[in-house]
Amino acid sequence: MAECGPMRLIISAWVGKVPQPEMGKRAAEESFKYLERVAHLRDLLGRRCTEILENLEDSLAVKMIRSVLAVGDENLTPMAAVAGTIADAVADFLVNRGMTRVVVDNGGDVAVRLLGDASVTVGIRQKVDKQEISNVIALDSRSPSWGVTTSGLGGRSLTRGVASASTVIAETASMADAAATAIANASFVEDEQVIQRPAEEIDPETDIAGLPVTVKVGQLSEETKAMAVSKAMERAEQLIEKNIILGAYVAVQGKVAMTSFFKERLAE
């Protein structure tokens, strides 16, 4: 485990079926360097992508920007992809040193690397702030790189929607991170049970100052929940059609929908 400020990594690495704890420790040490690099550029990366005019050479910063630009939400800054990007960097560090199965969980933003006949199962939650697992999906080495991330009300980051969980699978955790944020935001519905406040009132250092964020959602009607899920899933399908993500799962107060990619990989 590696923990510093907002970063809390759980790192698992194997060669074949043999765990490699020492390599996990080395990766944890590297993760602090990655966090330091992002922190050094925090002011710049907290701007909208269209406002970043500098030619950045830092590979982490470039990846964050590219992920957010691919998602195409003009209200997101590169910080929307920071947790997934760091998870990816740690996972790639391990694969480049011979690991064949890697799982890096950065507070719910998970980077998975699978080589050979390696496989993993990943738990899915209906509420981002609860530990209960509602479904399990299976991933294998048909793709060597996976990203599984979750956003929603009650998570580490502010959300503009009402989704209790928006989980996305993409080829990288960086891309999944940005997309999960955008899909969760798309779940917003106008309702007297939905309370919003300017982002800067909740977090004076927020990167989305001036935008309303959701602070509380009362009990929604079944019709309203269905509308929220539908709006989020529509956004997810747009990203799937553009080959930005592979699949999505959305939950709003127990109302759940998932794309075919998730359905096909549900574990028994």
Which domains are present in the chain? 2-264 (3.10.520.10)
- Kindly indicate the confidence band of residue 71, based on its pLDDT and cuts at 50, 70 and 90: very high
C-beta of residue 180 within 8 angstroms of C-beta of residue 154: no
Chain-centroid distance of CA 56 in Å reads 23
pLDDT of residue 48: 87
State pLDDT tens for residues 203-252: 998 889 899 999 999 999 999 999 999 999 999 999 999 999 999 999 99
State pLDDT tens for residues 119-168: 999 999 999 888 889 899 999 999 999 999 999 998 778 999 999 999 99
- What predicted TM-score, i.e. pTM, was given to this entire model? 0.94
